[in-house]
């Protein structure tokens, strides 16, 4: 009872916020689809891609990158320690991709033609590759997520089949993610004369891939804390500590690559040109790379709840800045116009993010997203390994392996 009275006002506040966002979002949705892109957005012939591509698509896909890194760590690199966070991470990635596809429906001028890349092929187009990767990877994520649904309805057979193909599935997911995380960067290789030299680089695909790994893992930490706050989920600091070590390494690689790229391309003088580009470039590097690198490198921070949260949040912010800089700030000067999203563009973005939160919360409520506490789990696993495993050894159900 007391628990409820403490929880209640907090939930009402967030519910209120979400309700407002939903109402505005529904209004803007109607407006956009009836009146068109011109009436609802600040986009123009000079500036055809804005917030929905920059944030909803480029950031959405990148922030879902935790999905392929964590599944690969567990199933391919056999780091069983991270198994407890697979479910929330796969759910986040799956939701992320569905929401990216939803956002795309808003942005496409002819959304009812979204299926065209299935039958009308242009393999020379990066966008074609992105479309296919997103479709295929969404399918992979759905297959990775389905066992949780089967479990709810006690459907043993289909989930057994899915478990058997889990390794090929994870490898496919890893390859698809590698391809299209980087191809979002490849998209911008075609505009060497339009994108500011601070961001345009022939290795843009590599930058997008590496930064997505850092951001995806940071999102895992970030969302662990949200889950801790909203779903009273236990925090596995030891897991997050391990993840933050990986982030340190990835951020380090990213930084070194960035320095090498900037010096080799001879664009260092661009850093002497005062202006929005320079300020935002430096902000992106300091907030998203240098400061979190230093913070995460300190053991004290890695085992501190707040320290982890703040550092991870900075990586995420820096990542979002980077994607917005590539797609908006970096393109602004050559376009000759100032783009700033309309309130309707912003409300639809908020709407889509809010839907993500609501669906996540519903999934947590009705499905087993956060796995049982550790002691329970270990006895469960012990039983599995003493009885079931001996009988059905070749089934090789990776999921039932004990921690060794």
212 close to 286: Cβ distance less than 8 angstroms: no
Is 13 near another protein (CB under 8 A)? no
377-394 burial code (b ≥16 CB/10 A, e <16): eeeebeebeeeebeeeee
| Span near another protein by CB under 8 A; candidates 16-24, 141-149, 180-188, 257-265 | 180-188
Subset of 235-274 contacting another protein (CB under 8 A): none
Rounded CA separation 334/321 (Å) = 19
Tokens of 319: 């990542």
Cβ burial, residue 336 (10 Å; 0-12/13-18/19+)? exposed
Rounded CA separation 58/321 (Å) = 11
3-state DSSP helix/strand/coil percent for the chain, to nearest 5?
80, 0, 20
Is 385 near another protein (CB under 8 A)? yes
In whole angstroms, how large is the CA radius of gyration of the chain? 22
Selected from 16, 30, 36, 158, the binder of another protein by CB under 8 A is 36
Subset of 282-321 contacting another protein (CB under 8 A): none
Strands (E), 174-245: none
Is 378 near another protein (CB under 8 A)? no
Nearer to another protein, 95 or 184 (CB): 184
| Span near another protein by CB under 8 A; candidates 42-50, 228-236, 271-279, 312-320 | 42-50
CB of 228 to another protein, least distance (A): 30
Query: CA nearest 216: which of 85, 107, 341, 126?
Result: 85
CB of 292 to another protein, least distance (A): 28
Query: CA nearest 397: which of 88, 85, 387, 389?
Result: 389
| Span near another protein by CB under 8 A; candidates 9-17, 94-102, 123-131, 244-252 | 123-131
CB of 27 to another protein, least distance (A): 16
| Residue 195-234 contact track with another protein, rule CB under 8 A, x = bound | -------x--x-----------------------------
Question: How many positions of this chain bind another protein (CB under 8 A)?
Answer: 69
Rounded CA separation 278/172 (Å) = 39
Selected from 35, 264, 305, 374, the binder of another protein by CB under 8 A is 35
Nearer to another protein, 127 or 260 (CB): 127
Taking each helix axis from N to C terminus, what angle separates 126-152 and 166-186, rounded to the nearest 10 degrees? 150
Q: How many residues does the chain have?
A: 404
| Span near another protein by CB under 8 A; candidates 22-30, 87-95, 128-136, 225-233 | 128-136
Residues in contact with another protein by CB under 8 A are 33-39, 43-46, 48-49, 72, 75-78, 80, 107-111, 113-114, 116-117, 120-131, 167, 170-171, 174-175, 178-179, 182-183, 186-187, 189-194, 202, 205, 331, 385-386, 389-390, 396, 398, 401-402, 404
């Amino acid at each position: 009872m007391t628990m409820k009275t403490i929880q209640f006002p907090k939930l009402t506040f967030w519910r209120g916020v979400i309700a407002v966002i939903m109402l505005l979002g529904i209004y803007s949705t109607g407006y956009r689809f009836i009146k068109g892109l011109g009436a609802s957005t600040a986009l123009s012939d000079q500036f055809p891609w804005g917030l929905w591509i920059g944030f909803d698509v480029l950031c959405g896909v990148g922030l879902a990158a935790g999905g392929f890194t964590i599944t690969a760590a567990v199933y391919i690199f056999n780091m069983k320690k991270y198994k407890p966070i697979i479910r929330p991470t796969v759910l986040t990635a799956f939701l992320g991709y569905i929401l990216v596809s939803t956002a795309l429906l808003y942005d496409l001028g002819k959304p009812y033609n979204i299926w065209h890349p299935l039958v009308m092929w242009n393999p020379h187009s990066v966008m074609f590759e992105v479309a296919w990767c997103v479709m295929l990877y969404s399918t992979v994520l759905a297959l990775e997520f389905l066992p949780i649904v089967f479990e709810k309805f006690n459907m043993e057979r289909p989930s057994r089949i899915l478990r058997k193909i889990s390794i090929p599935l994870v490898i496919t997911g890893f390859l698809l993610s590698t391809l299209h995380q980087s191809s979002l960067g490849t998209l911008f290789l075609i505009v060497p004369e339009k994108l500011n030299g601070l961001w345009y680089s022939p290795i843009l695909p590599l930058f997008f891939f590496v930064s997505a790994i850092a951001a995806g893992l940071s999102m895992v930490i970030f969302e662990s804390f949200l889950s801790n706050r909203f779903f009273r989920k236990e925090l596995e600091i030891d897991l997050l500590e391990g993840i933050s070590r990986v982030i340190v390494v990835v951020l380090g690689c990213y930084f070194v690559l960035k320095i090498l790229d900037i010096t080799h391309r001879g664009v260092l003088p661009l850093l002497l040109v005062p202006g929005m580009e320079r300020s935002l470039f430096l902000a992106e590097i300091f907030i998203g790379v240098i400061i979190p690198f230093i913070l995460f490198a300190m053991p004290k921070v890695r085992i501190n709840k707040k320290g982890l949260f703040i550092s991870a949040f900075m990586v995420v912010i820096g990542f979002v800045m980077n994607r917005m800089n590539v797609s908006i700030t970096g393109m602004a000067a050559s376009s000759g116009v100032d783009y700033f999203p309309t309130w309707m563009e912003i409300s639809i973005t908020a709407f889509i993010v809010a839907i993500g939160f609501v669906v996540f919360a519903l999934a947590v409520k009705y499905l087993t997203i956060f796995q049982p506490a550790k002691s329970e789990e270990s006895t469960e696993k012990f039983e599995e390994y003493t009885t079931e495993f001996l009988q059905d050894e070749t089934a090789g159900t990776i999921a039932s392996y004990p921690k060794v």
